[in-house]
Amino acid sequence: MGRRLTPRGEQRRGELLAYATERFATNGYHPTSVAELVDGLGVGKGVFYWYFESKEDLFLEILRSGERDLRRVQLDAMGDETDPVARMELAIRASMEWWATHRELYVLIEFARTEASFASGVRKGERVALEDTRRLVQEAMDSGAIADGNATVVAQAVLGVSSVLARTQVLGRGRPPSEVADEVIDFCWHGLLGRDAGQTRRTA
Amino acid sequence: MGRRLTPRGEQRRGELLAYATERFATNGYHPTSVAELVDGLGVGKGVFYWYFESKEDLFLEILRSGERDLRRVQLDAMGDETDPVARMELAIRASMEWWATHRELYVLIEFARTEASFASGVRKGERVALEDTRRLVQEAMDSGAIADGNATVVAQAVLGVSSVLARTQVLGRGRPPSEVADEVIDFCWHGLLGRDAGQTRRTA
DNA sequence: GGTGAACTTGACCGTCTGGTCAAGTACCGT
DNA sequence: ACGGTACTTGACCAGACGGTCAAGTTCACC
């Protein structure tokens, strides 16, 4: 929607975005009707269609702005650090903090991946995140800082650990993001066997 | 639905389950109507409600039977192996093979997590999987086979790496499950730093 | 105080939804 | 051949959905 908005308009639009995000996240996208959104805000239905072309358009807007914001936060966090391993660590910590303050987005992205009309958009965003990470992993492998291997797979594993622990520990149990970030980093860096243990190995 | 079914009935029910699984996975749960399901099978609408109480009931049935089957396959794979680390490895390999032959279930479970009416059921199943894994991790920690730490968090990290690589590598890129299982295990056991590399450490 | 653009209202529309049900058919044991 | 249960049909329903729009209101600016 290429509409010009006055400050008052911006505010309304923001209200709609915020309320819709919350409703979609707790009630689901499809079960939440446009009528429910405008009723919840105590406004007429026309308000919705003044600011958004459609329900789908609104949802895509929520997704896009969320992804954009997370990426910005990650890049900011990495700043001018040059060591790839340190950059990954900074990005992981920043992401964990971000998820803690944007809990609704997690479930929305997860949902978006499950429906044809949204999946391609999400995948595009994820390809960007993966490529960012893959580059760092490759760089670290080349310099011998980490073990050689398939950089894409390793990058995906790191992202997987981050997102699972963000979901279950930070969002699910409300644990402090920094603490969980420590655990993500410890697991990703050293694996199960850890720095020290790992003598009594298995048979299989 | 506690109905008694003849072999013919079982067959029909199976057709409905299979077709619905495919449609839900590719088109989404809500956008797929009951009418679309029965039309696709070329039967009357009454057939659907003869075998299932509701659309929701059908979906829950798909979820439940999937989770049950995966767990059975995992337990079978672990057989009578007693070493906890070896058991985890066997379960990971079996899961990866299972996902390769049940690709539709992945997206359905992911969707189910995003909607209030299904989320609790999924979480129950995930608690079971987590507890199975946590026990093995704890046992391995106690015996000194792996490094000490928060067993729940570590278990979740292992499950996270497995499921992310199942999704992206096995389902997304069609890579052989056994090969991806190797990578999951390598990453989870040794982390980024690996068996060998890891001298040139970071500054942060 | 008048003009026009930004914003808001809510009745209204066509379509589709999940679900029902009276009626009919296939098939089994006897 | 008959009786009964398993199964099938498809017209039908009430309600909800996303979306439209003519009419009205607010307000910044001249």
CA-CA distance, B99 to B93, in Å (whole number)? 10
The integer distance in angstroms from the CA atom of A37 to the C1' atom of D20 is 18
Per-residue DSSP letters for B176-189? Answer: -HHHHHHHHHHHHH
CA A11/CA B86 separation, integer angstroms: 57
Kind and range of the H or E run holding B1: none
Distance CA B144, CA B151 (A): 13
CATH homologous superfamily of A55-204: Tetracycline Repressor, domain 2 (1.10.357.10)
Q: Which of A161-170, A188-197, B163-172 shows the lowest mean pLDDT across its residues?
A: A188-197
Q: How confident is the model at residue A54 (pLDDT cuts 50, 70, 90)?
A: very high
Is A198 (CB) below 7 Å from strand C?
A: no
Region for A149 from its dihedrals, namely left if φ exceeds 0, alpha if ψ lies in -120 to 50, beta otherwise: left
| Contact assignment for B156 to A150 by CB distance below 8 Å | no
Q: Taking 70 as the threshold, does the pLDDT of residue A202 lie above it? A: no
Number of residues assigned to chain A: 204
Pick among 1.20.120.160, 1.10.357.10, 1.10.10.60, 3.30.70.260: CATH of A1-53: 1.10.10.60
B190: nearest CA partner in chain A? A191
What is residue A194's predicted lDDT score, i.e. its pLDDT?
66
Measured distance between the N- and C-terminal CA atoms of chain A, rounded to whole angstroms:
59
Q: What is the mean pLDDT of residues A43-49?
A: 98
**Å between CA of B19 and C1' of D1:** 40
Interface probe for B, chosen from A92, A114, A158, A168 (most Cβ of B below 10 Å), is A114
Of B114, B194, B199, the CB nearest to A111: B114
Q: Which residues contact A87 (CB under 8 A, 6 or more apart)?
A: A78, A81, A136
A192, two tokens: 């199960």
pLDDT averages per 10-residue partition of chain B, 204 residues: 81 97 97 98 97 97 96 97 96 98 97 95 95 96 92 97 98 97 95 56 36
Angstrom distance (rounded) from CA A170 to CA A96: 8
Express each pLDDT in B145-173 by its tens digit.
998 999 999 999 999 999 999 999 999 99
| B202/A169 touch (CB, cutoff 8 Å), yes or no | no
Cα A31 from Cα B115, distance rounded (Å): 9
Whether the pLDDT of residue A204 is over 60: the answer is: no
pLDDT tens-digit readout, A5-37: 999 999 999 999 999 999 999 999 999 999 999
Nucleotides of chain D touched by protein CB (<7 A): 5-12, 16-23, 27-28
Instruction: Pick out residues 34-73 of chain B having their CB under 7 A from any atom of nucleic acid strand D.
Output: 42-47, 49-50
Cβ of B36 < 7 Å from strand C? Answer: yes
Are the C-beta atoms of residues A140 and B51 closer than 8 Å to each other? no
Say yes or no: domain B62-204 is CATH 1.10.357.10.
Answer: yes
Instruction: State whether B164 and A156 contact (CB < 8 Å).
Output: yes
**Residue with more model confidence, B193 or A52:** A52
Shortest Cα distance, chain A CAs vs residue B57, angstroms: 17
Q: What is the average per-residue pLDDT within A131-157?
A: 95
pLDDT at A120 over 90: yes
Report domain extents, chain B: 1-53, 62-204
Instruction: Give residue A44's identity as a one-letter amino acid code.
Output: G
Give the pLDDT confidence of A100-111 residue by residue, as tens digits: 999 999 999 999
pLDDT at A195: 60
The reported pLDDT for the residue numbered A154 is 96
Region A114-129 average pLDDT: 95
pLDDT the model gives residue B198:
38
Mean pLDDT confidence for A53-57: 98
CB contact under 8 A, A107 and B114: yes
Q: Which residue has the higher pLDDT, A204 or B165?
A: B165
- Token couple for A91: 């990005």
CB nearest B107 (choices: A114, A148, A200):
A114
The token pair at B176 is: 């052989």
- Selection from B186, B189, B200, B184 nearest residue A139 by Cα: B200
Chain A hits for B149, Cβ within 8 Å? 183, 186, 194
What's the pLDDT at A3?
A: 73
Q: What per-residue confidence (pLDDT) applies to B151? A: 96
Residue A130 has pLDDT above 50, yes or no: yes
Provide the token pair at A145: 């800082």
Residue tagged 């509409």 (tokens) = A3
CA-closest candidate to residue B55, choices B27, B29, B74: B29
Q: Select from A23, A40, A41 the least CA-distant residue to A32.
A: A23
